[in-house]
Structure 1
Amino acid sequence: MPVKIGNIDLGEFPLLLAPMEDVSDPPFRFVCKQNGADLMYTEFISSEGLIRDAAKSRQKLDIFEYERPIGIQIFGSNIESMREATEIASQAGPDLIDINYGCPVKNVACKGAGASLLKDIDKMVKMTKAVVEATHLPVTVKTRLGWDDNSKNVYEVAERLQDVGIKALTIHGRTRSQMYKGQADWSLIREVKRNPRVAIPIFGNGDVDSVEKAANWRLEYETDGIMIGRAAIGYPWIFREIKHFFNTGELLPGPTITERVEVCLTHLAKSIAWKGEKTGIFEMRRHYSNYFKGTPNFKEYRMKLVSLEDVASIFEVLEEIKGNYNEAEILQ
């Protein structure tokens, strides 16, 4: 059975790319899409920023045809601002709108947005209803198990948000107080999925960083799909590898050094095309060590890559990397 969000057909057991601040921009989304991500989201966007027309928030609305289906994710603490931001985001032409009720970081959660709404379910429901009513697009939500171990209320959240019209729910298997520490607990995600009252797709998120885990958890926790975040940074091949295993039962070999360089070059080119040479080169610097993780004696190359300021020199160094490493030298 294909998984559907509204009229969007995601195929059987889709793999989603998580919205990640300062990571999930169009250049990064491009390489993840090339490797098989079925649904992607923008970085989360402040509703207040959109209403004030802040340049940074506006730029995050940029989406491209090749990314579809794509959702724009918004967050905020004021219901009216979220309603207005939904109207603005809908005009940017995404396939769906996603609400962030999961972000645990202080400058979001401590301002009454993101995961802090888990402490006020009534407000969360009102806010969600306002967003659903402000757009013709399907609305989805990303949240956590609860605020802390004493208030794991996602079971109730799922029912009540479905009742006001959301079309899918992604649950990160940690509480807000856990941040990103400890292990994600998917057992409560499975309970939500098994709830006979819940008919919308339920996606699991948290700690999926290997083909084996994706395959085992698909069976064990019965979700409709998996959202992958940190494991895709510098390793967009994870989508391809999981899909290949689901389709064939075989493990694909990891990317060769040539593939790593090629994808890194693509990412860099997209970054420059989207943000201009100076910013594009600067923002790409955070990705090099991830792309070449496990490559022996890479530090010298990384130091070069993060200090160079012109495209030709960076291309030269990347080509040199391709020539200087035996394909077998990458440590998985």
Structure 2
Amino acid sequence: MKIGDIQLGQHPVLLAPMEDVTDESFRLICKEQGADFTYTEFVSADALIRNIAATTRKLNIRPAERPAAIQIYGRDTQSMVEAARIVEQAQPDVIDINFGCPVKKVAGKGAGAGMLRDIPKMLEITSAVVKAVNIPVTVKTRTGWDADHRIIATLAEQLQDCGIKALTVHGRTRAQMYTGRADWEMIARVKENPRLTIPLIGNGDITTGQEAREAFDRYGVDGVMVGRASIGAPWIFRSMKAAITGEDEPVITYAEQFAILRRQI
């Protein structure tokens, strides 16, 4: 799988962006444990433009964790463009746009998954950001706003037409938040679209090596993104990579787990 010119190999497993989780130390540990690609915490476009220190610190990427993406979110086109240009100066490998965060303080204000209720604005922002920078731009989103508006099959093509280099789909609607089960059949239908030529990364409920392998074998995605299952267990990437390649999953002792987690503190 490739994002632009970035080669991630076959069957890559990616660390999802998670607020208050995917800081520098956690990303580096996940990389050491087998993650093929990492994402920063969410970066607010408005806060970045205002030069808020807590936000600008999120732009730091260590050489050892590359390739890595900085993820931005916002609801205004000009702010997102300005933020993307600031982010580009931090030299991430990829800029990712967050159109998937479901929490009220983000989606309720029209950003994150809130953009699923304003597709023209989502496409306007995406196209503008792609044109504003010289590094690959990707998007992470959900299947739709709610069960009556699962629009991802059409939306995927529209986002591709904006010039993004990869798309991540979390198999839930915004209304589901993190409840129920992720709809991988919906993700598979997006992948089956012959007009979709960019890599498709599937996200949602991947918690074991066997589930990661099934995501590739059954649903045909190009990459798998792992989020909550990695919290407190970054070695899950090592287990997943082994399962995907048909190797025996490693036995990780409590002493080894403790040593790995201690490094994060």
Correspondence for 1:21? 19
Correspondence for 1:260? 257
Structure 1 or 2: more strand by fraction: 2
Asked if structure 1 preserves the Cα contact closer than 8 Å seen for 2:99 and 2:116, the reply is yes
Higher relative contact order (CA 8 A, sep 6+): 2
- Name the amino acid aligned to 2:256: E
Can you give the 5+ residue segments of structure 2 that lack an aligned partner in the other structure?
none
Correspondence for 2:230? 232
Asked if structure 2 preserves the Cα contact closer than 8 Å seen for 1:159 and 1:197, the reply is yes
Distance in 2 separating the partners of 1:34 and 1:149: 38
Size of the alignment, in residue pairs? 265
Correspondence for 2:212? 214
Structure 1 or 2: more helix by fraction: 1
Q: CA deviation at 1:260?
A: 1.3
Correspondence for 2:122? 124
Aligned with residue 221 of structure 2, among 220, 223, 227: 223
Q: State the Cα deviation string for residues 223-245 of structure 1 (Å, max 9, x = none).
A: 00100000001111111111112
Q: CA RMSD in A?
A: 0.8
- Name the amino acid aligned to 2:122: M
Asked if structure 2 preserves the Cα contact closer than 8 Å seen for 1:245 and 1:252, the reply is no
User: What stretches of structure 1 move > 4 A for 4+ residues in a row?
Assistant: none
Q: State the Cα deviation string for residues 175-209 of structure 1 (Å, max 9, x = none).
A: 00000001111111111111011000000000000
Q: Are residues 1:134 and 2:141 paired?
A: no
Q: State the Cα deviation string for residues 254-273 of structure 1 (Å, max 9, x = none).
A: x21210121122212xxxxx
Distance in 1 separating the partners of 2:243 and 2:151: 34
Aligned with residue 247 of structure 1, among 245, 248, 252: 245
Identity in percent: 53
Secondary structure of 1:44's aligned partner: strand
Secondary structure of 2:21's aligned partner: coil
The structure with the largest alpha-carbon Rg is 1
Can you give the 5+ residue segments of structure 1 that lack an aligned partner in the other structure?
269-332
Q: TM-score, normalised by structure 2?
A: 0.98
Distance in 2 separating the partners of 1:101 and 1:14: 22
Distance in 2 separating the partners of 1:209 and 1:244: 14
Q: CA deviation at 1:157?
A: 1.2
Asked if structure 1 preserves the Cα contact closer than 8 Å seen for 2:215 and 2:224, the reply is no
Correspondence for 1:45? 43
Q: CA deviation at 1:121?
A: 1.0
Q: Trace 1:9-158 onto structure 2 (pairs within 5 A).
A: 9-158=7-156
Q: CA deviation at 1:248?
A: 3.3
- Name the amino acid aligned to 2:193: N
Secondary structure of 1:267's aligned partner: coil
